[in-house]
Amino acid sequence: TAELVPQAPEDALFGLARAYRADEDPNKVDLGIGAYRDDSAKPWVLPVVKKADEILRNDPELNHEYAPIAGIASFTSKAAELILGGPDSPAIKEKRVTSMQTISGTGAVHLGALFLAKFFPGTKKVYLSNPTWANHNQIFSNVSLPIAQYPYFSKETKGLDFEGMKAAIHGAPDRSIILLHACAHNPTGVDPTLEQWKEIAAAMRAKDHFPFFDCAYQGFASGDLMKDNAAVRYFVEQGFELVIAQSFAKNFGLYGERAGCFHVVTGPAPDAQATISRIASQLAILQRSEISNPPLYGARIASTVLNDPKLFAEWEENLRTMSGRIISMRTALRSKLEELGTPGSWNHITDQIGMFSFTGLTEAQVMKLREDAHVYMTKNGRISMAGLNTRNVEYFAKAVDKVVRE
Ligand code: PMP
């Protein structure tokens, strides 16, 4: 009965956002949630998204009928090309991909988890990086997939614990599922180099592990779509069977519109197309029972851009604007801290990439920053770089300097 339902804790990130909104200090700084802000700390509607919206609004044929179960085909096919590196990807040429439009990246991870819970043979253990996006733990637990961790972040170097990661991959039972962040690892901002990805792939191949790529930041990390999908492309070139959860929240600024995609790529085999069609049939049943069919608006926007070379080029320009501003904030923050002579080394601020930086600040320092300086960041010391701008970066650096010296 209802009285037996226990109270659950508030989601840490959304709780942080609520605390920030309630703070009336004029200098408050929001470095919590991972959403892009312009230099005035305002949400940014991408100019190319405004154009696509205009095109859609002027289309007299547009209606609000249901999308097909797998979503809008003109969107999912281009989404596959985007993550796999274009129509020349061996997986696309050999028709070894099936794609389902999902409720953004979260829905894609969930659909993948559900699919693997049902169809992945053997023990089905999922290895997550330590740390990882907190939602991964809940999503896989919700479908009863057992979770394990692999080391990822080195506290000493504030970079990749590559040896620890490889040792865990070797130590995991054969045919484990390994969740990998395709680029711009959340929360650390630390990615393997391409050489390291090659070693990871070799280690995974040796153990017959199954890659589950989560890609929430393609184009947003480096500003270069083909650079940010390099790891996925490499694994596909190596003939891996794998799945990909793809979000368009950050790279299109379509957060609340929930545009995403789940892709399954099978390995090169004579019967690959038959395998893919069986997988597609099962995904359709899962999708039907979960959401019936996905939402239209965000996918229509993305599809409009992805299918028009001129708009696509403009999108790339918009991506460079966002990633460029974030990179310039990394440089500014590091140089302010170095100028102040803040104890510690700060090269990791510019070495790390994407939306987030793992500062190395302790939980006590984070709490002190919130109380004294009205700076809001997650307890693990992660900051959303997009929350910094030319007006607050010095204020933030000085606050960090103070708390580190205390
Ligand atoms: N995976 C990772 C690693 C993320 O950082 C995010 C965004 N915070 C997502 C998936 C999915 O986000 P969304 O559902 O908004 O697309």
In angstroms, how far is CA 380 from the centroid of its own chain?
A: 18
Whether 261 is in the pocket of ligand 1, judged by its Cβ within 6 Å, is no
Euclidean distance between CA atoms 316 and 100, whole angstroms: 24
Q: DSSP 3-state helix, strand, coil percentages of the chain (rounded to 5)?
A: 50, 15, 40
Domain locations along the chain: 9-45+321-405, 73-307
pLDDT at 12 over 90: no
Superfamily of domain 9-45+321-405: Aspartate Aminotransferase, domain 1 (3.90.1150.10)
* Residue 201 near residue 238 (C-beta atoms within 8 A): yes
- Coil, helix or strand at residue 374: coil
- Residues tagged active-site: 133, 214, 250
Out of 14, 152, 186, give the residue to mutate to test ligand 1, the one with the largest number of ligand atoms within 8 Å of its CB: 186
So what's the pLDDT on residue 226? 97
pLDDT at 55 over 80: yes
Beta-carbon contacts of residue 376 (< 8 Å; ≥ 6 apart): 16, 19, 20, 23, 28, 29, 30, 31, 32, 370
Amino acid identity of residue 20, one-letter, is Y
Give the pLDDT band (50/70/90) at residue 317: very high
Whether 229 is in the pocket of ligand 1, judged by its Cβ within 6 Å, is no
Global confidence as pTM: 0.96
So what's the pLDDT on residue 137? 97
Atom in ligand 1 nearest the alpha carbon of residue 106: 14
Q: Which helix (H) or strand (E) holds 2?
A: none
So what's the pLDDT on residue 33? 80
Out of 36, 103, 130, 247, give the residue to mutate to test ligand 1, the one with the largest number of ligand atoms within 8 Å of its CB: 247
Query: What is the Cα Rg of the chain in Å?
Result: 21
Beta-carbon contacts of residue 26 (< 8 Å; ≥ 6 apart): none
* Secondary structure tally for the chain: helices H, strands E: 16, 13
CA dihedral 106, 109, 110, 115 (to 10 degrees): 160
- Give per-residue pLDDT as tens, 193-223: 999 999 999 999 999 999 999 999 999 999 9
**Cβ count within 10 A of residue 307:** 13
Residues in the chain: 406
Strands (E), 287-387: 356-358, 375-376, 382-384
73-307 maps to CATH 3.40.920.10: no
- Coil, helix or strand at residue 396: helix
- Give per-residue pLDDT as tens, 151-160: 999 999 999 9
Amino acid identity of residue 373, one-letter, is A
**Residue 127 has which token pair?**
């290895």
* Residue 318 near residue 46 (C-beta atoms within 8 A): yes
Euclidean distance between CA atoms 398 and 406, whole angstroms: 13
CA 187 to ligand 1 center in whole angstroms? 11
- Give per-residue pLDDT as tens, 18-40: 999 999 999 999 999 889 999 99
The protein residue whose alpha carbon is closest to atom 12 in ligand 1 is 105
